Homo-oligomer: A and B are copies of this chain.
């Protein structure tokens, strides 16, 4: 399935400037352990047939906020093809954050996603003409909506409250980790 997603080039991108050793220390800082890997695997099963609903919610939020929709637009005109392409890849990201090992290949692909938000590579994957960069501040701000809104979906498959909380905490850690990696290109040299 993944291979049919336009622009999804997992395993076929350049090297991340962040090392596995750096990632290990970041994991320690967000208290990420083997238990989180298990919780995310379970979350992946729970979310698998709900990704469209999750994406509808997230993109409804973007679409309802002019200051966010503008990143998919030019002169106030949203590019629907671009929105559709990004949405498909974002769906795959939900699966990847739950199921993929956080190894060098994963690290490399998070950096590719980072470059696609930044002026370095924005618009290039889909060959579109929209805003040149997604401003840094909204990438970090998205930690909240992307985390808070997932809980309802995690609770939909009859798991007890404790299990839902465990999946939710692991998701929060995973989102925080990826947002750090996605903001690398915005950071002044040697300050990351």
Contacts and interface: CB of A to CB of B under 8 A. Distances in A.
Interface of A: 22, 25-26, 28-31, 65, 67-68, 118-119, 133, 135-138, 140-145, 147-148, 169, 172-173, 176-177, 179-180, 183, 186-188, 191-192
B140 A187 contact: no
Given A136-B192, A140-B140, A186-B188, 8 more contacts: A28-B65, A31-B145, A31-B148, A137-B192, A140-B179, A143-B143, A143-B176, A186-B192
Contact of A29 (B25, B28, B30, B141): B141
A173 B180 CA distance: 17
B29 A191 contact: no
A68 B143 CA distance: 22
Contacts of A22: 137
A22 B188 CA distance: 21
A135 B192 contact: yes
Nearest to A192: B136
Contacts of A135: 191-192
A29 B176 contact: no
B172 A137 contact: no
A149 to B, nearest CB: 9
B141 A26 contact: yes
A2 to B, nearest CB: 28
